[in-house]
A and B are shown apart, each in its own frame.
Chain A
Amino acid sequence: MSASFKEKQDAIISDFEVFDDWMDKYEMIIDLGKEIQGISLEKRKDEQLIDGCQSRVWLKSDIDNTRMVFAADSDAIITKGIIALLINVYNGEKPETIVKEDLYFIDQIGLQEHLSPTRANGLLEMVKRMKIEALKHV
Protein backbone atom coordinates (compact mmCIF):
# COMPACT_ATOMS: atom_id res chain seq x y z
CA MET A 1 0.00 0.00 0.00
CA SER A 2 1.30 3.45 -0.84
CA ALA A 3 2.24 5.97 1.85
CA SER A 4 -0.63 7.85 3.46
CA PHE A 5 -1.05 11.62 3.21
CA LYS A 6 0.33 11.95 6.74
CA GLU A 7 3.25 9.59 6.08
CA LYS A 8 4.29 11.56 3.03
CA GLN A 9 4.35 14.80 5.05
CA ASP A 10 6.25 13.17 7.92
CA ALA A 11 8.85 11.82 5.48
CA ILE A 12 9.54 15.33 4.17
CA ILE A 13 9.83 16.65 7.73
CA SER A 14 12.42 14.04 8.62
CA ASP A 15 14.33 14.72 5.37
CA PHE A 16 14.64 18.37 6.37
CA GLU A 17 15.46 17.68 10.02
CA VAL A 18 19.04 16.72 9.17
CA PHE A 19 19.86 20.29 8.13
CA ASP A 20 20.36 23.02 10.66
CA ASP A 21 21.68 25.57 8.18
CA TRP A 22 19.12 27.41 6.09
CA MET A 23 21.30 27.35 3.00
CA ASP A 24 21.44 23.54 3.14
CA LYS A 25 17.64 23.35 3.30
CA TYR A 26 17.37 25.64 0.32
CA GLU A 27 19.96 23.70 -1.66
CA MET A 28 17.71 20.67 -1.25
CA ILE A 29 14.66 22.68 -2.37
CA ILE A 30 16.58 23.94 -5.40
CA ASP A 31 17.56 20.36 -6.31
CA LEU A 32 13.91 19.29 -6.07
CA GLY A 33 12.96 22.22 -8.29
CA LYS A 34 15.46 21.08 -10.91
CA GLU A 35 14.27 17.46 -10.81
CA ILE A 36 10.52 17.95 -11.08
CA GLN A 37 9.17 17.74 -14.61
CA GLY A 38 6.94 20.81 -14.42
CA ILE A 39 5.06 22.08 -17.47
CA SER A 40 7.13 22.88 -20.54
CA LEU A 41 6.99 26.45 -21.88
CA GLU A 42 4.98 25.58 -25.00
CA LYS A 43 2.39 23.65 -22.99
CA ARG A 44 1.72 26.42 -20.46
CA LYS A 45 -1.71 27.97 -20.85
CA ASP A 46 -2.93 31.36 -19.69
CA GLU A 47 -5.70 29.82 -17.61
CA GLN A 48 -3.07 27.86 -15.65
CA LEU A 49 -1.19 31.02 -14.65
CA ILE A 50 -1.18 32.29 -11.09
CA ASP A 51 0.46 35.69 -11.15
CA GLY A 52 2.34 36.41 -7.96
CA CYS A 53 3.95 39.76 -7.40
CA GLN A 54 7.39 38.13 -7.19
CA SER A 55 7.24 34.85 -9.11
CA ARG A 56 4.70 33.19 -11.39
CA VAL A 57 3.19 29.73 -11.07
CA TRP A 58 1.40 27.52 -13.61
CA LEU A 59 -0.88 24.77 -12.30
CA LYS A 60 -2.53 21.94 -14.22
CA SER A 61 -4.85 19.46 -12.58
CA ASP A 62 -6.57 16.23 -13.57
CA ILE A 63 -8.34 13.33 -11.98
CA ASP A 64 -7.20 9.82 -12.77
CA ASN A 65 -10.05 7.53 -11.75
CA THR A 66 -10.48 8.61 -8.10
CA ARG A 67 -7.10 10.27 -7.54
CA MET A 68 -5.93 13.82 -8.20
CA VAL A 69 -2.94 14.42 -10.50
CA PHE A 70 -1.29 17.83 -10.47
CA ALA A 71 1.55 19.31 -12.51
CA ALA A 72 2.96 22.77 -11.86
CA ASP A 73 5.83 25.03 -12.73
CA SER A 74 7.33 28.40 -11.85
CA ASP A 75 9.79 30.90 -13.27
CA ALA A 76 11.66 30.91 -9.93
CA ILE A 77 13.51 27.74 -8.97
CA ILE A 78 12.88 27.99 -5.21
CA THR A 79 9.16 28.39 -5.85
CA LYS A 80 9.39 25.37 -8.17
CA GLY A 81 11.16 23.34 -5.48
CA ILE A 82 8.38 24.05 -2.98
CA ILE A 83 5.88 23.15 -5.70
CA ALA A 84 7.68 19.80 -6.03
CA LEU A 85 7.12 19.17 -2.30
CA LEU A 86 3.42 20.09 -2.53
CA ILE A 87 2.89 17.91 -5.60
CA ASN A 88 4.68 15.02 -3.95
CA VAL A 89 2.23 15.26 -1.06
CA TYR A 90 -1.00 15.91 -3.00
CA ASN A 91 -0.53 13.72 -6.08
CA GLY A 92 -2.39 10.43 -5.98
CA GLU A 93 -4.62 11.55 -3.12
CA LYS A 94 -8.39 11.37 -3.18
CA PRO A 95 -10.10 14.76 -3.60
CA GLU A 96 -11.65 14.42 -0.11
CA THR A 97 -8.20 14.09 1.48
CA ILE A 98 -6.92 17.22 -0.26
CA VAL A 99 -9.93 19.24 0.79
CA LYS A 100 -10.16 18.03 4.39
CA GLU A 101 -6.73 17.01 5.65
CA ASP A 102 -4.33 19.42 7.28
CA LEU A 103 -1.26 20.48 5.28
CA TYR A 104 1.25 20.85 8.10
CA PHE A 105 4.67 19.94 6.72
CA ILE A 106 5.36 23.44 5.29
CA ASP A 107 5.14 24.94 8.78
CA GLN A 108 7.15 22.13 10.34
CA ILE A 109 10.10 22.55 7.99
CA GLY A 110 10.05 26.32 8.45
CA LEU A 111 8.84 27.33 5.00
CA GLN A 112 5.59 28.95 6.16
CA GLU A 113 6.80 32.35 4.97
CA HIS A 114 6.47 31.09 1.40
CA LEU A 115 2.80 30.40 1.94
CA SER A 116 2.05 33.75 3.56
CA PRO A 117 -0.09 36.29 1.70
CA THR A 118 2.73 38.84 1.87
CA ARG A 119 5.23 36.64 0.05
CA ALA A 120 3.33 37.04 -3.21
CA ASN A 121 5.12 34.20 -4.97
CA GLY A 122 1.95 32.48 -6.14
CA LEU A 123 2.27 29.48 -3.81
CA LEU A 124 -0.55 30.32 -1.42
CA GLU A 125 -2.89 30.85 -4.36
CA MET A 126 -1.64 27.58 -5.86
CA VAL A 127 -2.58 25.58 -2.74
CA LYS A 128 -6.00 27.27 -2.74
CA ARG A 129 -6.50 26.34 -6.39
CA MET A 130 -5.41 22.75 -5.77
CA LYS A 131 -8.09 22.50 -3.10
CA ILE A 132 -10.71 24.14 -5.31
CA GLU A 133 -9.88 21.70 -8.14
CA ALA A 134 -10.16 18.79 -5.70
CA LEU A 135 -13.47 20.16 -4.39
CA LYS A 136 -14.94 19.88 -7.89
CA HIS A 137 -14.60 16.11 -7.59
CA VAL A 138 -15.93 15.65 -4.06
Chain B
Amino acid sequence: MNQTPVYIEGIRSQFPILKEKVHGKPLVYFDNAATTQKPQKVIDRINAYYSSENANIHRGVHHLSQVATKDYEDARIRIKNYIGAEKENEIVFTKGTTDGINLIASSYGELMKKGDEVLISAMEHHSNIVPWQLLAERKGIVLKIIPIRRDGTLDMARFEEMLNDRTKLVSITHISNTLGTINPIETIINRAHKFGAKVLIDGAQSIQHGEINVVNLNCDFFVFSGHKIFGPTGIGVLYGKASILESMPPYQGGGDMIKRVSFEKTSFNELPFKFEAGTPNIVGGIALGTAVEFMESIDTEQAFSFEKDLLSYAEKELLQIENLKIYGTSALKTSLVSFNVGTIHPFDIGTLLDKQGIAVRTGHHCTQPLMDFFEIPGTIRASFSIYNTKEEVDLFIHALKRALIALS
Protein backbone atom coordinates (compact mmCIF):
# COMPACT_ATOMS: atom_id res chain seq x y z
CA MET B 1 0.00 0.00 0.00
CA ASN B 2 1.01 3.61 -0.50
CA GLN B 3 2.45 5.72 2.31
CA THR B 4 0.03 7.71 4.45
CA PRO B 5 -1.22 10.69 2.44
CA VAL B 6 -0.70 14.29 3.54
CA TYR B 7 -4.41 14.92 4.24
CA ILE B 8 -4.44 12.10 6.81
CA GLU B 9 -1.38 13.63 8.47
CA GLY B 10 -3.31 16.91 8.49
CA ILE B 11 -6.23 15.29 10.33
CA ARG B 12 -3.87 13.45 12.65
CA SER B 13 -2.06 16.64 13.67
CA GLN B 14 -5.30 17.95 15.20
CA PHE B 15 -5.34 15.17 17.83
CA PRO B 16 -2.85 16.02 20.59
CA ILE B 17 -3.06 12.66 22.38
CA LEU B 18 -1.62 10.87 19.36
CA LYS B 19 1.77 12.41 20.17
CA GLU B 20 1.84 10.65 23.57
CA LYS B 21 4.17 7.83 24.49
CA VAL B 22 3.10 4.68 26.31
CA HIS B 23 5.68 2.59 28.21
CA GLY B 24 8.32 4.68 26.43
CA LYS B 25 6.98 3.79 22.96
CA PRO B 26 4.98 5.99 20.57
CA LEU B 27 1.26 5.40 21.13
CA VAL B 28 -0.47 3.45 18.36
CA TYR B 29 -4.16 3.86 19.10
CA PHE B 30 -6.18 1.06 17.50
CA ASP B 31 -9.08 0.99 19.95
CA ASN B 32 -11.29 3.38 18.04
CA ALA B 33 -14.33 1.12 18.17
CA ALA B 34 -14.29 1.58 21.96
CA THR B 35 -13.81 5.32 21.85
CA THR B 36 -12.26 7.88 19.52
CA GLN B 37 -9.72 10.52 20.46
CA LYS B 38 -10.64 14.20 20.56
CA PRO B 39 -9.43 16.94 18.19
CA GLN B 40 -8.00 20.12 19.71
CA LYS B 41 -11.11 22.14 18.78
CA VAL B 42 -13.36 19.85 20.86
CA ILE B 43 -10.98 20.07 23.83
CA ASP B 44 -10.82 23.88 23.43
CA ARG B 45 -14.60 24.11 23.25
CA ILE B 46 -15.02 22.28 26.58
CA ASN B 47 -12.42 24.55 28.14
CA ALA B 48 -14.03 27.70 26.75
CA TYR B 49 -17.47 26.69 27.99
CA TYR B 50 -16.33 26.24 31.57
CA SER B 51 -13.98 29.24 31.40
CA SER B 52 -16.47 31.84 30.20
CA GLU B 53 -19.96 30.50 29.47
CA ASN B 54 -21.08 28.08 32.19
CA ALA B 55 -24.71 28.49 33.23
CA ASN B 56 -27.81 26.35 33.49
CA ILE B 57 -29.97 26.36 30.38
CA HIS B 58 -33.62 26.80 29.41
CA ARG B 59 -34.57 28.75 32.56
CA GLY B 60 -32.38 31.75 33.23
CA VAL B 61 -33.16 35.22 32.00
CA HIS B 62 -29.58 36.26 32.61
CA HIS B 63 -27.01 36.63 29.86
CA LEU B 64 -24.90 33.54 30.49
CA SER B 65 -27.92 31.26 30.64
CA GLN B 66 -29.14 32.59 27.34
CA VAL B 67 -25.74 32.12 25.69
CA ALA B 68 -25.47 28.54 27.01
CA THR B 69 -29.03 27.76 25.91
CA LYS B 70 -28.38 29.08 22.43
CA ASP B 71 -25.11 27.15 22.08
CA TYR B 72 -26.74 23.94 23.30
CA GLU B 73 -29.70 24.33 20.95
CA ASP B 74 -27.40 25.29 18.05
CA ALA B 75 -25.52 22.03 18.64
CA ARG B 76 -28.83 20.17 18.39
CA ILE B 77 -29.53 21.83 15.02
CA ARG B 78 -26.03 21.05 13.75
CA ILE B 79 -26.44 17.38 14.73
CA LYS B 80 -29.90 17.30 13.16
CA ASN B 81 -28.44 18.54 9.88
CA TYR B 82 -25.48 16.16 10.09
CA ILE B 83 -27.67 13.05 10.28
CA GLY B 84 -30.23 14.41 7.84
CA ALA B 85 -33.20 14.63 10.22
CA GLU B 86 -36.08 16.92 9.32
CA LYS B 87 -36.83 18.59 12.65
CA GLU B 88 -34.68 19.48 15.61
CA ASN B 89 -37.31 18.22 18.04
CA GLU B 90 -36.49 14.74 16.74
CA ILE B 91 -33.02 14.99 18.27
CA VAL B 92 -33.06 13.92 21.93
CA PHE B 93 -29.83 14.30 23.88
CA THR B 94 -28.97 11.18 25.91
CA LYS B 95 -25.97 9.90 27.86
CA GLY B 96 -25.01 7.68 24.94
CA THR B 97 -26.09 4.71 22.84
CA THR B 98 -26.92 2.52 25.83
CA ASP B 99 -29.05 5.27 27.35
CA GLY B 100 -30.87 5.76 24.03
CA ILE B 101 -31.72 2.06 23.73
CA ASN B 102 -32.89 1.95 27.35
CA LEU B 103 -35.10 4.98 26.71
CA ILE B 104 -36.78 3.22 23.78
CA ALA B 105 -37.10 -0.09 25.64
CA SER B 106 -38.59 1.67 28.62
CA SER B 107 -40.85 4.21 26.92
CA TYR B 108 -41.75 2.69 23.54
CA GLY B 109 -41.73 -0.65 25.36
CA GLU B 110 -44.52 0.69 27.56
CA LEU B 111 -46.76 0.72 24.46
CA MET B 112 -46.16 -3.01 23.89
CA LYS B 113 -48.21 -5.84 25.32
CA LYS B 114 -47.77 -9.50 26.18
CA GLY B 115 -46.90 -11.59 23.12
CA ASP B 116 -45.58 -8.68 21.05
CA GLU B 117 -42.26 -9.55 19.43
CA VAL B 118 -38.94 -7.69 19.35
CA LEU B 119 -36.21 -8.89 16.98
CA ILE B 120 -32.52 -8.37 17.64
CA SER B 121 -29.55 -10.15 16.06
CA ALA B 122 -26.97 -12.61 17.34
CA MET B 123 -24.21 -9.99 16.91
CA GLU B 124 -25.66 -7.34 19.23
CA HIS B 125 -23.71 -5.55 21.93
CA HIS B 126 -24.97 -6.36 25.44
CA SER B 127 -26.57 -2.91 25.50
CA ASN B 128 -28.91 -3.98 22.71
CA ILE B 129 -29.72 -7.30 24.41
CA VAL B 130 -30.24 -6.66 28.11
CA PRO B 131 -32.78 -3.77 27.88
CA TRP B 132 -35.03 -6.08 25.81
CA GLN B 133 -34.61 -8.94 28.27
CA LEU B 134 -35.69 -6.56 31.03
CA LEU B 135 -38.68 -5.52 28.90
CA ALA B 136 -39.53 -9.19 28.30
CA GLU B 137 -39.64 -9.71 32.06
CA ARG B 138 -41.66 -6.56 32.65
CA LYS B 139 -44.21 -6.77 29.85
CA GLY B 140 -44.10 -10.37 28.64
CA ILE B 141 -42.89 -9.46 25.16
CA VAL B 142 -41.08 -12.16 23.18
CA LEU B 143 -37.43 -11.53 22.26
CA LYS B 144 -36.29 -13.26 19.08
CA ILE B 145 -32.73 -13.53 17.80
CA ILE B 146 -31.88 -13.26 14.10
CA PRO B 147 -29.07 -15.81 13.58
CA ILE B 148 -25.77 -15.12 11.85
CA ARG B 149 -23.58 -17.21 9.56
CA ARG B 150 -19.96 -18.26 10.11
CA ASP B 151 -18.67 -15.31 8.08
CA GLY B 152 -20.35 -12.96 10.53
CA THR B 153 -23.20 -11.85 8.26
CA LEU B 154 -26.87 -11.90 9.14
CA ASP B 155 -29.00 -14.79 8.00
CA MET B 156 -31.40 -12.60 6.03
CA ALA B 157 -33.57 -15.53 4.91
CA ARG B 158 -34.23 -16.40 8.57
CA PHE B 159 -34.90 -12.73 9.31
CA GLU B 160 -37.62 -12.63 6.65
CA GLU B 161 -39.21 -15.79 8.06
CA MET B 162 -39.20 -14.37 11.58
CA LEU B 163 -41.17 -11.25 10.65
CA ASN B 164 -44.89 -11.43 11.31
CA ASP B 165 -47.82 -9.31 12.46
CA ARG B 166 -46.73 -9.58 16.10
CA THR B 167 -43.31 -8.04 15.31
CA LYS B 168 -43.41 -4.59 16.89
CA LEU B 169 -39.77 -3.61 16.75
CA VAL B 170 -36.52 -4.66 15.08
CA SER B 171 -33.56 -3.35 17.07
CA ILE B 172 -30.35 -3.95 15.25
CA THR B 173 -26.79 -2.76 15.05
CA HIS B 174 -25.73 -0.96 11.89
CA ILE B 175 -22.15 -2.25 12.27
CA SER B 176 -20.97 -5.06 14.54
CA ASN B 177 -18.51 -3.74 17.12
CA THR B 178 -16.81 -7.14 17.29
CA LEU B 179 -16.79 -8.35 13.67
CA GLY B 180 -17.02 -5.12 11.69
CA THR B 181 -19.92 -6.49 9.61
CA ILE B 182 -22.01 -3.76 7.99
CA ASN B 183 -25.62 -4.94 8.11
CA PRO B 184 -28.04 -4.35 5.21
CA ILE B 185 -30.18 -1.99 7.28
CA GLU B 186 -31.98 -0.48 4.28
CA THR B 187 -33.42 -3.91 3.44
CA ILE B 188 -34.15 -4.65 7.11
CA ILE B 189 -36.03 -1.35 7.55
CA ASN B 190 -37.97 -1.89 4.36
CA ARG B 191 -39.05 -5.46 5.20
CA ALA B 192 -39.90 -4.66 8.83
CA HIS B 193 -42.10 -1.74 7.77
CA LYS B 194 -44.13 -4.08 5.54
CA PHE B 195 -45.26 -5.80 8.75
CA GLY B 196 -45.86 -2.52 10.53
CA ALA B 197 -42.85 -3.00 12.79
CA LYS B 198 -40.65 -0.06 13.82
CA VAL B 199 -36.87 -0.19 13.44
CA LEU B 200 -34.21 1.02 15.88
CA ILE B 201 -30.70 1.31 14.47
CA ASP B 202 -27.77 1.11 16.90
CA GLY B 203 -25.39 3.50 15.18
CA ALA B 204 -22.63 3.40 17.81
CA GLN B 205 -20.11 2.01 15.34
CA SER B 206 -21.36 3.56 12.11
CA ILE B 207 -21.47 7.22 13.16
CA GLN B 208 -17.68 7.72 12.83
CA HIS B 209 -17.26 5.70 9.64
CA GLY B 210 -19.79 7.03 7.19
CA GLU B 211 -22.44 9.54 6.42
CA ILE B 212 -25.83 8.82 7.94
CA ASN B 213 -29.12 10.12 6.59
CA VAL B 214 -32.00 9.04 8.80
CA VAL B 215 -34.64 10.29 6.38
CA ASN B 216 -33.22 8.34 3.43
CA LEU B 217 -32.79 5.29 5.64
CA ASN B 218 -36.37 5.76 6.85
CA CYS B 219 -35.44 4.26 10.22
CA ASP B 220 -37.77 5.03 13.12
CA PHE B 221 -35.03 5.44 15.72
CA PHE B 222 -31.27 5.92 15.41
CA VAL B 223 -28.99 6.07 18.46
CA PHE B 224 -25.30 6.89 18.84
CA SER B 225 -22.68 8.07 21.34
CA GLY B 226 -20.80 11.36 21.11
CA HIS B 227 -17.50 9.86 22.18
CA LYS B 228 -17.43 7.58 19.14
CA ILE B 229 -17.47 10.54 16.78
CA PHE B 230 -14.61 12.54 18.34
CA GLY B 231 -16.86 14.19 20.95
CA PRO B 232 -16.95 13.84 24.74
CA THR B 233 -18.18 10.89 26.77
CA GLY B 234 -21.50 11.08 28.60
CA ILE B 235 -23.41 12.59 25.69
CA GLY B 236 -25.29 10.84 22.92
CA VAL B 237 -28.21 11.23 20.61
CA LEU B 238 -31.50 9.50 20.08
CA TYR B 239 -33.14 10.36 16.79
CA GLY B 240 -36.78 9.37 16.59
CA LYS B 241 -39.54 10.23 14.13
CA ALA B 242 -41.55 13.01 15.77
CA SER B 243 -44.88 11.22 15.39
CA ILE B 244 -43.54 8.16 17.23
CA LEU B 245 -41.79 10.17 19.94
CA GLU B 246 -45.04 12.09 20.48
CA SER B 247 -46.92 8.87 21.10
CA MET B 248 -44.46 7.64 23.72
CA PRO B 249 -44.79 8.24 27.48
CA PRO B 250 -42.00 10.15 29.27
CA TYR B 251 -38.94 8.14 30.31
CA GLN B 252 -37.76 9.94 33.43
CA GLY B 253 -39.50 12.62 35.44
CA GLY B 254 -37.97 15.85 36.66
CA GLY B 255 -37.16 19.40 35.70
CA ASP B 256 -37.13 20.55 32.07
CA MET B 257 -39.48 17.77 30.92
CA ILE B 258 -42.63 19.33 32.38
CA LYS B 259 -45.01 22.03 31.23
CA ARG B 260 -46.92 22.47 34.49
CA VAL B 261 -46.66 20.58 37.76
CA SER B 262 -49.34 20.36 40.42
CA PHE B 263 -50.00 17.63 42.98
CA GLU B 264 -53.18 16.72 41.15
CA LYS B 265 -51.93 16.59 37.58
CA THR B 266 -48.68 17.25 35.77
CA SER B 267 -48.50 18.02 32.07
CA PHE B 268 -45.39 17.32 30.06
CA ASN B 269 -43.19 19.52 27.94
CA GLU B 270 -43.06 19.17 24.17
CA LEU B 271 -40.40 17.28 22.22
CA PRO B 272 -37.53 16.82 22.66
CA PHE B 273 -37.65 18.16 26.25
CA LYS B 274 -40.23 15.57 27.29
CA PHE B 275 -37.34 13.08 27.21
CA GLU B 276 -34.68 15.33 28.74
CA ALA B 277 -35.39 15.42 32.47
CA GLY B 278 -32.99 17.29 34.71
CA THR B 279 -30.04 19.53 33.92
CA PRO B 280 -28.51 17.94 30.86
CA ASN B 281 -24.85 17.43 29.94
CA ILE B 282 -24.69 20.97 28.54
CA VAL B 283 -20.99 21.09 27.74
CA GLY B 284 -21.25 17.58 26.28
CA GLY B 285 -23.97 18.66 23.87
CA ILE B 286 -22.11 21.80 22.85
CA ALA B 287 -18.80 19.95 22.36
CA LEU B 288 -20.57 17.21 20.39
CA GLY B 289 -21.73 20.00 18.10
CA THR B 290 -18.07 20.99 17.73
CA ALA B 291 -17.14 17.37 16.93
CA VAL B 292 -19.74 17.38 14.17
CA GLU B 293 -18.31 20.70 12.94
CA PHE B 294 -14.91 18.98 12.85
CA MET B 295 -16.37 16.16 10.72
CA GLU B 296 -17.84 18.75 8.36
CA SER B 297 -14.43 20.42 8.06
CA ILE B 298 -12.60 17.37 6.74
CA ASP B 299 -12.78 15.56 3.43
CA THR B 300 -14.61 12.52 4.75
CA GLU B 301 -14.67 10.80 1.39
CA GLN B 302 -10.87 10.64 1.28
CA ALA B 303 -10.61 9.88 5.00
CA PHE B 304 -13.09 6.99 4.92
CA SER B 305 -11.46 5.63 1.80
CA PHE B 306 -8.06 5.59 3.51
CA GLU B 307 -9.58 3.79 6.53
CA LYS B 308 -10.66 1.04 4.14
CA ASP B 309 -7.16 0.86 2.62
CA LEU B 310 -5.75 0.46 6.14
CA LEU B 311 -8.13 -2.42 6.82
CA SER B 312 -7.17 -4.26 3.61
CA TYR B 313 -3.50 -3.73 4.29
CA ALA B 314 -3.74 -4.86 7.93
CA GLU B 315 -5.78 -7.95 6.99
CA LYS B 316 -3.32 -8.88 4.24
CA GLU B 317 -0.37 -8.58 6.64
CA LEU B 318 -2.17 -10.43 9.45
CA LEU B 319 -3.11 -13.36 7.24
CA GLN B 320 0.58 -14.01 6.56
CA ILE B 321 0.97 -14.97 10.23
CA GLU B 322 0.71 -18.71 10.82
CA ASN B 323 -2.48 -19.94 12.54
CA LEU B 324 -4.03 -16.48 12.56
CA LYS B 325 -7.78 -16.50 12.14
CA ILE B 326 -9.92 -13.46 11.39
CA TYR B 327 -13.48 -13.38 12.76
CA GLY B 328 -15.86 -11.43 10.57
CA THR B 329 -15.15 -11.87 6.87
CA SER B 330 -18.16 -10.16 5.37
CA ALA B 331 -17.57 -8.44 2.03
CA LEU B 332 -19.13 -5.37 3.61
CA LYS B 333 -16.99 -4.49 6.62
CA THR B 334 -15.96 -1.41 8.51
CA SER B 335 -12.32 -0.74 9.34
CA LEU B 336 -11.81 -3.12 12.23
CA VAL B 337 -10.29 -6.56 12.42
CA SER B 338 -10.95 -9.16 15.11
CA PHE B 339 -8.61 -12.15 15.31
CA ASN B 340 -6.95 -14.89 17.33
CA VAL B 341 -3.67 -16.73 16.81
CA GLY B 342 -3.86 -20.51 17.38
CA THR B 343 -4.92 -21.23 20.94
CA ILE B 344 -3.08 -18.25 22.45
CA HIS B 345 -5.31 -16.35 24.86
CA PRO B 346 -6.20 -12.87 23.55
CA PHE B 347 -5.35 -11.38 26.96
CA ASP B 348 -1.71 -12.50 26.55
CA ILE B 349 -1.34 -10.93 23.12
CA GLY B 350 -3.14 -7.75 24.22
CA THR B 351 -0.87 -7.37 27.26
CA LEU B 352 2.31 -7.73 25.18
CA LEU B 353 1.03 -5.33 22.53
CA ASP B 354 0.28 -2.78 25.25
CA LYS B 355 3.86 -3.01 26.53
CA GLN B 356 4.98 -2.06 23.02
CA GLY B 357 2.71 0.99 22.90
CA ILE B 358 -0.09 -0.61 20.86
CA ALA B 359 -3.62 -0.06 22.19
CA VAL B 360 -6.04 -2.76 21.02
CA ARG B 361 -9.04 -4.28 22.71
CA THR B 362 -9.06 -7.88 23.90
CA GLY B 363 -11.88 -9.93 25.33
CA HIS B 364 -15.50 -10.50 24.45
CA HIS B 365 -16.21 -6.86 23.46
CA CYS B 366 -19.54 -6.97 25.36
CA THR B 367 -20.81 -9.56 22.90
CA GLN B 368 -20.66 -12.78 24.92
CA PRO B 369 -23.36 -14.60 22.90
CA LEU B 370 -21.29 -13.94 19.77
CA MET B 371 -18.19 -15.42 21.47
CA ASP B 372 -20.27 -18.48 22.40
CA PHE B 373 -21.29 -18.80 18.75
CA PHE B 374 -17.65 -18.89 17.64
CA GLU B 375 -16.69 -20.96 20.75
CA ILE B 376 -13.86 -18.64 21.78
CA PRO B 377 -13.15 -16.74 25.01
CA GLY B 378 -12.57 -13.52 23.11
CA THR B 379 -10.61 -11.92 20.30
CA ILE B 380 -7.99 -9.26 19.75
CA ARG B 381 -9.62 -6.32 17.99
CA ALA B 382 -7.74 -3.60 16.14
CA SER B 383 -10.06 -0.81 15.04
CA PHE B 384 -8.93 2.07 12.86
CA SER B 385 -10.01 5.65 12.51
CA ILE B 386 -9.44 8.60 10.21
CA TYR B 387 -6.17 9.59 11.92
CA ASN B 388 -4.41 6.22 11.73
CA THR B 389 -1.51 5.63 9.39
CA LYS B 390 0.11 2.85 7.39
CA GLU B 391 3.23 3.24 9.53
CA GLU B 392 1.13 2.47 12.62
CA VAL B 393 -0.15 -0.72 11.01
CA ASP B 394 3.49 -1.68 10.37
CA LEU B 395 4.36 -1.02 14.05
CA PHE B 396 1.37 -3.10 15.11
CA ILE B 397 2.30 -6.06 12.90
CA HIS B 398 5.91 -5.88 14.10
CA ALA B 399 4.81 -5.77 17.76
CA LEU B 400 2.39 -8.65 17.20
CA LYS B 401 5.16 -10.80 15.72
CA ARG B 402 7.38 -10.00 18.68
CA ALA B 403 4.57 -10.91 21.09
CA LEU B 404 4.04 -14.22 19.28
CA ILE B 405 7.74 -15.09 19.56
CA ALA B 406 7.60 -14.38 23.31
CA LEU B 407 4.47 -16.53 23.68
CA SER B 408 5.61 -19.45 21.52
Contact = CB atoms under 8 A, between A and B. Distances in A.
A121 B362 CA distance: 12
A77 B347 CA distance: 9
B355 interface: yes
Contacts of B347: 54-55, 76, 78-79, 121
B406 A27 contact: yes
Interface in A1-59: 22-23, 26-27, 30, 53-56
B345 A75 contact: yes
Nearest to B355: A22
A26 B355 contact: yes
Contacts of B352: 23, 26, 78
Contact of B407 (A22, A53, A77): A77
Interface in A78-105: 78-79
B345 A77 contact: yes
A126 B23 CA distance: 27
A26 B351 contact: yes
A54 B406 contact: no
Contacts of A26: 351-352, 355, 406
Contacts of B364: 53
B396 to A, nearest CB: 15
Given A54-B362, A54-B378, A77-B345, A23 B351 contact: no
Interface in B320-357: 344-348, 351-352, 355-356
Interface in B363-387: 363-364, 377-378
A106 to B, nearest CB: 15
Interface string A97-137: 00000000000000000000000010000000000000000
A64 to B, nearest CB: 31
A76 B380 CA distance: 13
A23 B377 contact: no
A23 to B, nearest CB: 6
Interface of A: 22-23, 26-27, 30, 53-56, 75-79, 121
Given A23-B356, A76-B345, 14 more contacts: A22-B23, A22-B355, A23-B352, A23-B355, A23-B406, A30-B348, A30-B406, A53-B363, A54-B347, A55-B347, A55-B377, A56-B377, A77-B344, A78-B348
The 5 closest A-B pairs by CB, nearest first: A76-B345, A22-B355, A76-B347, A54-B347, A55-B347
14 contacts: A22-B355, A23-B402, A26-B351, A26-B406, A27-B406, A30-B407, A53-B363, A55-B347, A55-B377, A75-B345, A77-B344, A77-B345, A77-B348, A77-B407
